[in-house]
Structures are given as structure tokens and as C-alpha cells.
Amino acid sequence: MHIHILGICGTFMGGVAALAREAGHRVTGCDAGVYPPMSDQLRALGIDLVEGYGADQMALRPDVWVVGNVVSRARLPDGSPRYPLMEAILESGARYTSGPQWLAEHVLHGRHVLAVAGTHGKTTTTSMLAWVLEATGQQPGFLVGGVPVDFGVSARLGTGGQFVIEADEYDTAFFDKRSKFVHYRPRTAVLNNLEFDHADIFDDLAAIERQFHHLVRTVPSSGRVIVNELEESLARVLHEGCWSEVRSFGAAVSDFTAQGEPGGFDVLLRGERVGRVDWDLSGTHNQLNALAAIAAAEHVGVAPAQAAAALGRFRNVKRRMELRGESGGVRVYDDFAHHPTAIRTTLDGLRRKLGPAGGRILAVFEPRSNTMKLGAMKAQLPWSLEQADLAFCHAGGLGWDARDALAPMGVRASVADSIEDLVAQVVPAARAGDHVVCMSNGGFGGIHARLLQALSAR
């Protein structure tokens, strides 16, 4: 089969492309701004890429067009279509589908799908679960919205009967406004947490809870729903109806609980010690992620003791508190955190790991997600940055006043309208022993390398 993917350089669609190519299909694709590293990864797989969305790509005549959710029916100011190729596909009557639908029909069908959903921690928990299954001989397939260090790739078919997938609540395509995860039909579903996010497509938290309940409806009675019992929003989701076995984690009365610090803890199943995790990860959020992965692995026959031992060898995911370098005694990290709660848990985890005498934390962040750009959570930013000694915000392109939003932090917060100005603020403020945490869900203008270069030149 020849598939042509519109929006191929996105993390999810790039993963679909890699899986399709591994399965033996001919894969081509297009995107706006085809650039490394995704372009290099795809071309290394033998996937031809086209820049832009020109209608001349109709000459490729694939068996099916796979449409990413970046594509819309939007028009440019002059009235011309933003995506001429999509208009040509619709006019021609050619066969088209979404990435999640193609994945469900051609990769997931017939396999035991383990899906990890949640506002935060999806990528890390999915990676943990895939690693546990791999370390215990299951050889799972997986699709992750990042690159697990233990695998070096974001997606693979695997030879076992299980497939682990990051289950995103964002919508599927312009013609299918359901959440992506509704297509996956999991037998094991992790509901890790649930907060308001994606203000560009959801009106309120209740709208997202409704989508999570749609996911719960697809789990068979012999399946398992694994739920974070600390989350009232998830309690409301299950209250709407659940027809499967439920296993809980997180709260003192949950099935799976942890005893000890996040860096080393016993795993308890209904109060009985069943394993121990000793690892380099920090933060209560990762402790909870581990419990979710252990509960999910148990559903496919992996004993909690085995899962806990495997997690002791887990090396995390790129861009999750990834140390990018050190210069002049200043350590620079890269982290994907962009929602206020994720920013707070990331900084809390580092503060807890460092201890009171472990050096200052300098938080460098950009409100880049659609939700943050809309200003829906700007009031939570001071709360999210409480553990930072200093905070530096890149405010270029925002439609709201970052200086006003960060005013409660006083002199601890600085705002810059360009990456150059941001670097110029951070470097003089940094001193030996500091930890500079750069947080964004994008490339952040290569700020990590710029900071390290500027620090070494001072």
C-alpha cells in the first residue's frame, strides 16, 4: 500500500510513518517547514518528503491520503486555501483517513493495546510501560510522543502481542473532532490524571472528561482501567459508567501505593510489599507514573516485582529533565513542561532531589502551547514557579501581558520578547552551582546551546 501523509513531521504522524514503513508500506509525506531532526529520521527510513501542501502532489496517486490534524479548511487573507492539496483531495473524491484511524486499522487491530492517557506524564509513563514489557521479554510495539532513551526511536512495530501507545486527548482531524484515543480500543487503559488543557478546542474541563469517558466505554469487560485515585476529575469520569476491572493507584487506600521517597520506594499492592524501585528519576509525579506502569504491566502478566526491577534500569525520555551540558559550574537542562502543573511538578521534583543546599533553580520557559498562548492559565504561572529562585519568560508572540501575569513574583521574574534578550538576561544572573531548567513544548529557538555557548564565553 502507498500512503501519503499530510503533516508528516509532527511527532505522532512521524511515528505513524515509521510504523507504516516498517510494516512494508510505501510511505511519502508533506509538511510545511520540512527540517531536521524529523526530516532526517524519516528520510533515513526511505520516506520521500515534499515541502508544502501543493495540489500538484495529487500526481503521486497514493492508495490513501492520511491527514494530520494540522490540516484544516482555513483560507489565507487573499481567499485562497491554506492547504490546496486537501481541497484537491476532497474535490477528487479520493480515499482519505486520519492518522489514528489508519493506525487502528493497520497496526493495532488484533493486538492487546495498552493506552496511556492523561494531561501530564503520558510520554514518560508510556515509555516506562514499553520498557517494562521489553525488559521482561514481551517485545512490544509502541508509539510514544517522544524518544525513550532505552529504545532510541519513538515508534516500532514489535514482535509481541502487545502494543503500548500514548493516548492523546487532542482531536483527530478536521473531519473527526473526537479525541485520538477513541480510535485505539485498548484492553488496558491508564487514566493518569486530568486537568483543563487545550483551550483552543475544549470549552471546559467537563468537555475533556466527556472524551475520557468515551475512552472508558471502549474498554471491554475483560479489560482493565487503571485510574489515579488522587484526581477528582477521573472519579467523575468513572462515575459516568465503567464496565471493566478497575485498579487504582496514588491515594493511601488505592490498590497500588508507594512507600518512600520518589528516588527509591517500595511498591505496595493493597498494603503488601510486592517490589522496590530504585532509580535516578525525581519527583512525586514520576513515582505515580511508575505505579501506573506497574499496574498496567500486571494486566499482561508481568509481576509487580519484575516491573519494579525493570524500572530501576529505566533511563527516561529525551527532553524530560535532560541535562544538555554544563559550563562554568552552571548546569543546563531541557524539559518538555509547558502546562502550569507540569512546570510546578518538574521544579518540585528537582528541588526535592537537590535538597536545601543543592544550588539555585533558574526556570527559563516559554508559554508556547495553544492553551498558554490564549492566556487561559496565565494566572497560575506564579504558583507553578514557586520553587524557582529566578524565572525568565520568553513572551514573544503572546496576546497577553506576561509581565503583568508574573508581577506577583516581583524581582524574581524577568520577561524578554526575543531569545537573544532572554539569553542576555539569564547568563549574567547565573552563577556556579545553579541549575537552569529550560521548559517548552517546542525547540525554544535552540536556547540550550545558546546558553551554554554564552556561559562558556563570559
Residues 344, 386 share a domain: yes
The answer for residues whose C-beta is within 8 angstroms of residue 391's C-beta and 6 or more apart is 362, 363, 364, 365, 385, 406, 409, 412, 413, 414
Same domain, 76 and 148: no
Return the exposure string of 300-315: e unless at least 16 CB atoms fall within 10 Å of the residue's CB, then b. Answer: bebebebbbbbbeebe
Mark the binding-site residues for ATP, compressed into ranges: 118-124
pLDDT at 378 over 90: no
Residue at which a domain ends, from 276, 311, 346: 311
Q: Give a yes or no: residue 385 inside a domain.
A: yes
Residues 328 and 380 in one domain: yes
| pLDDT score, position 15 | 93
Q: Is residue 316 part of a domain?
A: no
Residue 332 sits in a domain whose CATH number is 3.90.190.20
Which residues, 6+ apart, have CB-to-CB distance to 214 below 8 Å?
178, 179, 182
What confidence category does residue 346 fall into, taking pLDDT thresholds of 50, 70 and 90? confident
pLDDT at position 442: 77
CATH number assigned to the domain comprising residue 12: 3.40.50.720
Q: How many folded domains does the chain comprise? A: 3
Domain annotation covers residue 105:
no
pLDDT tens, 425-452? 999 999 999 999 998 877 788 898 899 9
In this structure, is residue 104 part of a structural domain? no
Q: What is the pLDDT of residue 272?
A: 96
Residue 319 has pLDDT above 80, yes or no: no
Are 129 and 155 part of one and the same domain?
A: yes
3-state DSSP of 308-352: HHHHCCCCCECCCCEEEEEECCEEEEEECCCCHHHHHHHHHHHHH
Give yes or no: residues 79 and 116 share one domain: no
Higher pLDDT, 397 or 251: 251
Please check whether residues 91 and 126 belong to one and the same domain: no
Tell whether 94 and 118 lie within a shared domain.
no
Do 225 and 341 lie in one domain? The reply is no
Q: Buried (b) or exposed (e) across 21-32, using 16+ Cβ within 10 A?
A: bbeebbbbbbbe
Q: Which residue has the higher pLDDT, 24 or 282?
A: 24
Per residue in 35-46, pLDDT tens? 666 778 888 899
Q: Is 357 a member of any domain? A: yes
User: Given this model, what pLDDT does residue 283 score?
Assistant: 82
pLDDT at position 90: 98
Task: Say if 317 falls within a structural domain.
Answer: no
Confidence band for 348, pLDDT divided at 50, 70 and 90: confident
Q: Model confidence over 273-307: pLDDT tens digits?
A: 999 999 988 888 899 999 999 999 999 999 999 99
Q: What is the DSSP string of 253-303?
A: TSSEEEEEETTEEEEEETTEEEEEEE-S--SHHHHHHHHHHHHHHHHTT--
Of 105-114, 349-358, 431-440, which range is least confident?
A: 349-358
Query: Do residues 72 and 114 both lie within one domain?
Result: no
176 and 94 in a common domain: no
Average pLDDT in the 43-56 region?
A: 93
Do 269 and 160 share a structural domain? Answer: yes
Detail the residues annotated as belonging to a binding site. 118-124
- The domain boundary residue, chosen from 251, 279, 311: 311
Last residue of a domain, one of 311, 336, 364: 311
pLDDT band at 330 (very low <50, low <70, confident <90, very high): very high
Q: What is the mean pLDDT of residues 47-68?
A: 96
Statement to judge: residues 58 and 146 lie in one domain = no
In-domain check, residue 420 = yes
Task: Determine what percent of the chain is predicted with pLDDT higher than 70.
Answer: 98
18 occurs within a structural domain = yes
pLDDT band at 203 (very low <50, low <70, confident <90, very high): confident
Range of the domain at 171: 110-311
Position 73 scores a pLDDT of 95
Q: What are phi and psi of 94, to 5 degrees?
A: -65, 160
Residue 375 has pLDDT above 80, yes or no: no
50: helix, strand or coil: strand
| Separation CA 98–CA 333 (nearest Å) | 35
Q: Provide the CATH number for the domain around residue 144.
A: 3.40.1190.10
